[in-house]
């Protein structure tokens, strides 16, 4: 380790470093608080690496541009916040349907509508999961430290390239703007995943949507001689539109099943003092830092509290949450929204354990004392 790899970065800056380390060489975006620093940094850094930055006319176009760039062979990313994320949903659905790898960073701010552009929030949990229309998969990561922003951004690219889909990095504004020390890993220590290539027999035509046993179709870039068709319509393995009932059913189920099949490697989490916990706290993003403190304070008072922290919000760590909940008498879910992830926890644990939400939408972080009260309270 050399000192030049030690930096003092904000989350948005660490995200840029992670993206570049992951091989991102195309960024399209539109200014929006509190994500704009990502576009600003990218506009400065990318051309120095021979990469491309383009400022688009809106977030709809930004999302379209990264899909186009990905088809032409680039690892591509955009960054936005709530209102822009809403605008992107149409083409996000396209990336899911046409299985185009790309990364969308969403620095969450208060909503709905213009909401609170500069305050912290975790109010896009459900928009990340269900933002675009139709049944669809979602891979959503939410880091809680600057080092983890870097790592999670690399994961987002790796998951996108491997799974052939769009992935989301959902940061709350605190993580995006706070500064911490980070040791940027050496290039050789960063594991990168590249899109899977086909193994064609001589004379065999490339079928861009014919999956292997892992349910993921191999990939060829535009310009590499395959001359295939891509559409957002229901399509068959060749990529051409097909309205056949069995074909539609197969396609839509596969899009979900390919994520389900790889769930274990996609689902990242941290467990803290869960071994004997009878009060389980489920918290993510910056809120998990308050939650960890509250757990320690509860322990100091003799209450056996523990923390389960999803780093991957989706696909959801159902097995792990179920297991931790089976030993708990109470579950506390603090989050900077009015109960979006609490709904998921309640769905997983059912009525067997009471679930207490600690929810704030006032643009302020959730203090450890609030979580501690919920841990200690009846």
Partner 1 sequence: MSMDYFQYLRKDRMPHIWCPGCGHGTIMKSLLRALDKLKWPQDDVVVVSGIGCSSRTPGYLDFNTLHTTHGRALAFAQGVKVANPKLKVIVISGDGDAMAIGGNHFIHACRRNMDMTLIVFNNNIYGMTGGQASPTTFTGSKGTTAPYGAIEQPFDVCNMAQASGATFVARALDLDAVAMDRIILAGLQNKGFSVVDAWSQCTTYFGRQNKWGDASDMMDRYKGMTYNVRTADKMTEEEKADKYPLGVLFQATRPEWCEEYDKLIARVGGGEKAP
Contact footprint for partner 1 (CB under 8 A):
17, 20-21, 23, 25-26, 28, 47-50, 52, 54, 56-58, 60-74, 76, 90-91, 94, 184, 187, 221-233, 240-241
For residues 25 and 342, which CB has a smaller minimum distance to partner 1 in the complex? 25
**Nearest distance in Å: CB 58, partner 1:** 6
Q: What DSSP string describes 279-323? A: EEEE--TTHHHHHHHHHHHHHHTT--EEEEEESEEES--HHHHHH
Residue placing its CB nearer to partner 1 in the complex, 100 or 345: 100
Burial, 328: exposed, middle or buried (Cβ in 10 Å; 0-12, 13-18, 19+)?
A: buried
- Minimum CB separation of residue 280 from partner 1 in Å reads 39
Nearest residue to 141 via CA among 15, 253, 30: 15
Do 112 and 103 form a contact (C-beta atoms < 8 A)? no
* Minimum CB distance to partner 1 smaller for 202 or for 377: 202
Query: Least distance (Å) from partner 1 to the CB of residue 66?
Result: 6
Angle at 354 between CA 351 and CA 358, to 5 degrees: 130
Q: How far apart are CA 267 and CA 260, in angstroms?
A: 10
Residue with Cβ nearer partner 1 (23 or 120): 23
Structure tokens at 306: 């523990």
- Give the sign of the dihedral formed by CA 154, CA 157, CA 159, CA 162: negative
Which residue number, 48 or 351, has a Cβ lying nearer to partner 1? 48
Give least dist CB 369 to partner 1, A. Answer: 40
**Closer CB to partner 1, 244 or 338, in the complex:** 244
State the minimum distance, in angstroms, from the CB of residue 40 to partner 1. Answer: 15
Place of tokens 């004997």: 276
Checking DSSP bridges between strand 102-108 and strand 75-80, what pairing results, if any?
A: parallel
Closest separation in Å from C-beta 292 to partner 1: 30
């Amino acid at each position: 380790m050399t000192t030049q790899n030690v930096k003092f970065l904000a989350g948005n800056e660490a995200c840029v470093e992670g993206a570049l380390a992951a091989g991102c060489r195309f960024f399209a975006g539109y200014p929006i608080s509190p994500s704009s620093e990502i576009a600003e940094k990218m506009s400065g850094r990318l051309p120095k690496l021979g990469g491309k930055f383009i400022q688009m006319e809106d977030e709809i176009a930004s999302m379209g541009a990264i899909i186009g760039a990905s088809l032409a062979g680039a690892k591509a990313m955009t960054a936005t916040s709530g209102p822009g994320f809403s605008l992107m949903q149409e083409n996000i659905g396209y990336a899911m349907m046409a299985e185009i790898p790309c990364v969308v960073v969403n620095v969450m701010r208060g909503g709905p509508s213009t909401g609170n552009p500069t305050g912290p929030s975790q109010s896009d949990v459900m928009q990340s999961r269900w933002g675009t229309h139709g049944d669809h998969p979602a891979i959503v990561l939410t880091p809680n430290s600057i080092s983890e922003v870097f790592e999670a951004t690399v994961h987002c690219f790796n998951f996108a390239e491997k799974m052939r889909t769009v992935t989301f990095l959902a940061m709350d504004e605190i993580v995006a703007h706070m500064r911490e020390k980070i040791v940027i890993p050496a290039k050789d220590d960063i594991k990168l995943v590249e899109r899977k290539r086909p193994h064609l027999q001589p004379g065999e035509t490339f079928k861009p949507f014919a999956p292997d046993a892992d349910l993921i179709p191999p990939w060829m870039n535009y310009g590499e001689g395959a001359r295939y068709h891509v559409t957002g319509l229901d399509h068959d393995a060749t990529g051409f539109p097909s309205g056949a009932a069995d074909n539609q059913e197969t396609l839509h189920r596969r899009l979900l099943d390919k994520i389900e099949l790889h769930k274990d490697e996609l689902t990242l989490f941290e467990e803290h003092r869960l071994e004997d916990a009878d009060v389980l706290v489920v918290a993510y993003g910056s809120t998990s830092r308050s939650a960890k403190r509250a757990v320690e304070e509860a322990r100091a008072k003799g209450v056996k509290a523990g923390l389960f922290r999803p780093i991957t919000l989706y696909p959801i760590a159902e097995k792990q949450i179920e297991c931790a909940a089976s030993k708990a008498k109470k579950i506390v879910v603090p989050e900077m929204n009015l109960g979006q992830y609490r709904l998921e926890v309640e769905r997983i644990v059912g009525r067997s354990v009471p679930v207490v939400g600690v929810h704030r939408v006032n643009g302020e972080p959730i203090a450890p004392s609030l979580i501690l009260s919920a841990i200690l309270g009846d």
